[in-house]
């Protein structure tokens, strides 16, 4: 995640100082990717050096300097919105690496590795779903509330809830994909274990005898 | 201490005999408390449907006990089980199973009428249930005048009309798109939050995540469970939340 682009996108909303940027970033993304304020100020310094942001004036009474986008910065943010995120590079994923190693290192119970992970991922998925339910309940309550002078503030809060909901749903879909992949891993390992030329290894001894549509093989296995 | 709405104790179901016998379920124990929604996941042929059929008294265990609201099914005859099913258990299926020639209110009231309740009274209770679930607008519609999601919500109302407090749902979102499926799960979740016990069979992890806990079946055996849920306070304290 590019902190630089995130901070610039926030500044498109109006001038802000470092701590404010950090708070807004975390609020709009549900605190999913926490920033430390030092990271924010370092990034602002680089952006200023590159002519993408500039201070709005002198420090205020509490020593805080607000920043705004320059014209070049505004253009860069515009380009960011319309350019797809680069998916060419493959991020290092610990679980994928762990399972890839588990099937090649003797003595590892791959089924247990996959099952333990699936339980943990489902638990995480469940927690995310409960948080999503809370946000959705809040939205429904807000929809039912009478309108009044505080509508603009409510609108802002509603947008922040929507942002948080989208982040949550991304995490939910990612966790779901992981569970599906782990299901697939088990089936794949099972099929591999049935191949006659397969050397007997750690993952072939610990596999379930039912990894999908092989109900008929169960009777044999239980004799 | 509150008794479970549904209790399975060391339940085994064997189909066939001798060499060709298949153990569809093997020593499964499970309890679902009032107010709890439990999801069952597992690959095809793992015993999910068998479990649901046993839990609803549609099939009988070869050994072990199935107890619904304190009633051990093995001590009831066929008539007793049928009556218990009518009065205590609601089923929700993937394809809704609403009767096309009846309105939503008539469909919801049907289990009561089958149990001997007068039609007018059954209809009144049906409307109350639909009201309670925010489905009043659908009362007079026929199934073909409703979307899939609306029909499934009516099916949940039918499952819970009268005194029934245990709902068994077999892939209830299987025929629905993502958003509509979520609406259906929300309705089911809300009913459970108000005290209904639910057992949900699904192969979708995202849907199972609406349950309080998830039980995994493989080869007729419970191989794992996620355990009971964290409190919202715990969730809010985690790194992935605010």
Six-digit token string for B193: 């939050």
Separation of alpha carbons A69 and A10, rounded Å: 10
- When pLDDT is cut at 50, 70 and 90, the band that residue B96 belongs to is confident
- Residue B120 has phi, psi (to 5 degrees) of -65, -40
The DSSP call for residue A53 is E
Most A CBs within 10 A among B24, B40, B204, B206, hence the mutation to make, goes to B206
Q: Which of B219, B230, B241 sits opposite A208 (nearest CB)?
A: B219
| Domain layout of chain A by residue ranges | 3-82, 94-215
Q: Above 90 in pLDDT, residue A87?
A: no
Report CB contact under 8 Å: A218, B23.
Answer: yes
Q: Which residues make beta-bridge pairs with B187?
A: none
Q: Measured between CA atoms, how close is B149 to chain A, in angstroms?
A: 18
What does the pLDDT read at residue B214?
A: 92
Residue B200 counted as domain residue = yes
Q: Above 80 in pLDDT, residue B89?
A: yes
Taking only the tens place, the pLDDT of each residue in B113-129 is 988 899 999 999 999 99
Class of A3-82 per CATH? mainly alpha
- The Cβ of residue A199 has, within 10 Å, a number of other Cβ atoms equal to 5
With a pLDDT cut of 90, the percent of chain B lying above it is: 56
Q: What residue in B sits closest to A173 (Cα-Cα)?
A: B206
Report CB contact under 8 Å: A131, B241.
Answer: yes
Close Cβ partners of A115 (under 8 Å, ≥ 6 residues apart) = B216, B223, B224
Most B CBs within 10 A among A132, A215, A220, hence the mutation to make, goes to A215
Residue B242 counted as domain residue = no
State mean pLDDT over B152-167.
89
State mean pLDDT over A4-12.
93
- The Cβ of residue A183 has, within 10 Å, a number of other Cβ atoms equal to 19
Q: What CATH code is carried by the domain that includes residue B215?
A: 3.40.50.300
Query: Under DSSP, is residue A70 helix (H, G, I), strand (E, B) or coil?
Result: coil
ipTM: 0.71
- The Cβ of residue A12 has, within 10 Å, a number of other Cβ atoms equal to 14
User: Of A91, A74, A79, A9, whose CA–CA distance to A43 is shortest?
Assistant: A9
Question: What is the pLDDT of chain A when averaged over all its residues?
Answer: 82
Enclosing domain of residue B171: 6-236
Is the sign of the CA dihedral A146, A149, A150, A156 positive or negative? positive
User: Of A160, A174, A28, whose CA–CA distance to A95 is shortest?
Assistant: A174
The 3 state secondary structure assigned to chain B is CCCCCEEEEEEEEEECCHHHCEEEEEEEEEEECCCCEEEEECCCCCCHHHHHHHHCCCCCCCEEEEEECCEEHHHCCHHHHHHHHHHHEEEECCCCCCCCCCCHHHHHHHHHHHCCCCHHHHHHHHHHHHHHCCCHHHCCCCHHHCCHHHHHHHHHHHHHCCCCCEEEEECCCCCCCHHHHHHHHHHHHHHHHCCCEEEEECCCHHHHCCCCEEEEEECCEEEEECCCCCCHHHHHCCCCCC
Angle between helices A71-82 and A3-11 (to 10 degrees): 120
> Considering just the CA atoms, what is the radius of gyration of chain A in Å?
25
User: Of B168, B222, B189, B229, whose CA–CA distance to B41 is shortest?
Assistant: B222
Q: Measured between CA atoms, how close is A48 to chain B, in angstroms?
A: 30
Question: What is the pLDDT of chain B when averaged over all its residues?
Answer: 88
Separation of alpha carbons B46 and A50, rounded Å: 60
State mean pLDDT over B150-168.
90
Residues B4, B32 contacting (CB under 8 angstroms) = yes
- When pLDDT is cut at 50, 70 and 90, the band that residue A192 belongs to is confident
What does the pLDDT read at residue B228?
A: 64
Report CB contact under 8 Å: B226, A179.
Answer: no
Residue B117 counted as domain residue = yes
Per the structure, how many domains does chain B have?
Answer: 1
Q: Above 60 in pLDDT, residue B12?
A: yes
Report CB contact under 8 Å: A164, B242.
Answer: yes
> A173 to chain B: which residues are within 8 Å by CB?
206
Query: Under DSSP, is residue A111 helix (H, G, I), strand (E, B) or coil?
Result: helix
State mean pLDDT over A144-161.
70
Q: Which residues of B1-17 are buried (b: 16+ CB within 10 A; e: fewer)?
A: eeebbbbbeebbbeeee
């Amino acid at each position: 995640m590019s902190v630089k682009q995130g901070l610039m996108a926030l500044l498109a909303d109006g001038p802000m100082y470092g701590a404010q940027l950090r708070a807004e970033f975390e609020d709009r993304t549900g605190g999913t990717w926490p920033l430390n304020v030092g990271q924010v100020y370092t990034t602002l310094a680089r952006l200023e050096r590159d002519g993408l942001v500039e201070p709005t004036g002198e420090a205020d009474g509490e020593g805080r300097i607000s920043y705004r986008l320059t014209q070049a910065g505004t253009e860069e943010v515009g380009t960011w919105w319309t350019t797809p995120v680069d998916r060419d590079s493959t991020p290092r994923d610990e679980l994928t690496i762990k399972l890839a190693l588990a099937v090649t290192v003797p003595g590892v119970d791959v089924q247990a590795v996959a099952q333990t992970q699936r339980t943990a991922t489902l638990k995480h998925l469940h927690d995310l779903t409960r948080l999503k339910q809370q946000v959705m309940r809040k939205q429904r309550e807000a929809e039912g509330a009478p309108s009044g002078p505080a509508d603009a503030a409510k609108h802002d809060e509603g947008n922040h809830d929507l942002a948080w909901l989208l982040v949550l749903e991304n995490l939910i879909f990612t966790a779901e994909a992981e569970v599906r992949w782990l299901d697939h891993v088990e089936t794949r390992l099972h099929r591999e274990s049935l191949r006659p030329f397969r050397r007997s290894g750690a993952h072939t001894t610990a596999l379930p005898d039912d990894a999908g549509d092989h109900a008929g093989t169960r009777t044999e296995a239980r004799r | 201490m509150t008794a479970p709405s549904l209790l399975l104790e060391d339940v085994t179901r064997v189909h066939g005999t001798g060499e060709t016998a298949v153990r569809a379920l093997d020593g499964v124990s499970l309890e679902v408390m009032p107010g709890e929604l439990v999801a069952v996941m597992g690959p095809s042929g793992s015993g999910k449907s068998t479990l649901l059929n046993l839990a609803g008294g549609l099939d009988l265990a070869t050994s072990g006990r199935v107890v619904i609201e304190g009633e051990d099914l093995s001590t009831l005859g066929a008539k007793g089980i049928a009556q218990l099913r009518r009065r205590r258990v609601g089923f929700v299926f993937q394809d809704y199973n609403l009767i096309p020639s009846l309105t939503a209110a008539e469909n919801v009231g049907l289990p009561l009428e089958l149990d001997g309740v007068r039609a007018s009274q059954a209809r009144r209770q049906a409307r109350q249930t639909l009201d309670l679930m925010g489905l009043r607008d659908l009362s007079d519609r026929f199934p073909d005048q409703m979307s899939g999601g609306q029909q499934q919500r009516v099916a949940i109302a039918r499952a819970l009309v009268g005194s029934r407090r245990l709902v068994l749902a077999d892939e209830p979102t299987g025929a629905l798109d993502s958003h509509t499926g979520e609406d259906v799960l929300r309705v089911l979740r809300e009913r459970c939050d108000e005290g209904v016990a639910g057992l949900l069979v699904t192969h979708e992890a995202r849907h199972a995540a609406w349950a309080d806990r998830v039980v995994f079946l493989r080869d007729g055996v419970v191989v794992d469970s996620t355990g009971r849920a964290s409190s919202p306070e715990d969730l809010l304290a985690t790194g992935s939340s605010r």
